[in-house]
A and B are shown apart, each in its own frame.
Chain A
């Protein structure tokens, strides 16, 4: 229950900070997303009350932008870049390999909640193509054969 109380306090602080600024909704959602990794429904409902904005308007914005998520994230987010440079350097084969290893498709999480696979547009490291990012760490010039080792590092950390 501690987490819930914290959530409540954070939210009120956030709204206070942004209340007087015009067009604040997206910035508040960014902060929520940064704290929880997604935007929980009950947070949206509270936010709607605090800001005096219809819930539909909040959901309208959440669902429009790719950045906001409605589901809790997995422990590690695996993002494979499919920007033009990575696409040309065959990033598709990396995605196939990860899908094969983790038994999930793009946009899904593993059953144990360990990994989530995302395909993203350009991480801005085209010189290092093909690129994938696990959480905050960027892996450049990734070879298909290296993926097993990279992923198992994260599994070992847990043990």
Chain B
């Protein structure tokens, strides 16, 4: 990895942080993994590829709502940012098809909306 300089750090403006418009984040701390987040993550990656759905899939830490793990946060242009709870492999696939491709929300798993 190349060395980071002071300027690299100083020039960052976190308020302008751009995550991009289309992304999915999976909570992958111990509590998430215990509830099956690793399977969900793997399913998202595999299925997105298989179904030719273009979306940025990332891991992140614990969001705090341990009782509804695994948590998957989805941001798709034109829709509000949605946090889905109790996501299984099958739900993950539905998220890709319904939410990401067809831009419709999955009512039963929505945990928080912004």
Contact = CB atoms under 8 A, between A and B. Distances in A.
* A and B in direct contact, judged by CB atoms within 8 A: yes
Q: Is the interface of A mostly helix, strand, loop or mixed?
A: loop
Contacts of B30: 123-125
Contacts of A124: 30-31
A125 B33 CA distance: 10
A123 B31 CA distance: 9
Nearest to B64: A127
A126 B31 CA distance: 8
Interface size class of A (residues with CB under 8 A): under 10
Contacts of B35: 125, 128, 140
Nearest to B69: A127
B73 to A, nearest CB: 17
Nearest to A126: B66
Interface in B19-45: 30-31, 33-35
A131 interface: yes
Contacts of B34: 123, 125, 128, 131, 138, 140
Contacts of B65: 127
Closest 10 CB pairs of A and B: A127-B66, A138-B34, A127-B67, A125-B34, A125-B31, A124-B30, A140-B34, A127-B31, A140-B35, A128-B34
9 contacts: A123-B34, A125-B66, A127-B69, A128-B31, A128-B35, A128-B69, A131-B34, A138-B33, A140-B34
Interface of A: 123-128, 131, 138, 140
Interface of B: 30-31, 33-35, 65-67, 69
